[in-house]
Amino acid sequence: VNNNPSPYKVTLSGTLKSPKINFHPPFLMLMPVPLDVETEADITIVPQDYLRPSRIRVKLPELELGDGARTYPLSVQFPGGQDIVLSSDGTINELICHISFRSSKPMSFLGDVFFIDEEKN
């Protein structure tokens, strides 16, 4: 201070937390149904460690059928929106994702549904 060297040394340290999302339930098994009948379920998305708002997008599995045709048998909807919003008290809202399956051809599959935020997490 006042051009005099200070005998004080300041050390800063911190922990960086990457944003992540958890799911409830952690995996989803849809019930078998007859052709052209929809089966559906809801999952809860729980965002954690977000410091700013973000928007979730979804990448669904594309399947190739026996005849070579390609299809997306799953669809998703976010009834309350797909934005991660921070409230004034610092908490983050949970999101509901409605997942449904319908097919006119017989199939079963195991696939991944990717949920991606604006930072590509």
Residue range 73-103, pLDDT digits in tens = 999 999 999 999 888 777 788 999 999 999 8
Q: Where are the domains of the chain?
A: 20-116
SS3 assignment, position 21 = strand
Residue range 7-33, pLDDT digits in tens = 777 788 888 778 889 999 988 889 889
Residue 1: the pLDDT is 52
- Name the nearest CA neighbour of 97 among 57, 50, 37, 53: 57
Label residue 93 exposed, middle or buried (CB < 10 Å: 0-12, 13-18, 19+). middle
Please, what is the end-to-end C-alpha distance for the chain in angstroms?
44
As a whole number, mean pLDDT of residues 29-53 equals: 91
Quote the pTM value: 0.78
- Name the nearest CA neighbour of 30 among 19, 15, 42, 16: 42
Average pLDDT, the chain: 87
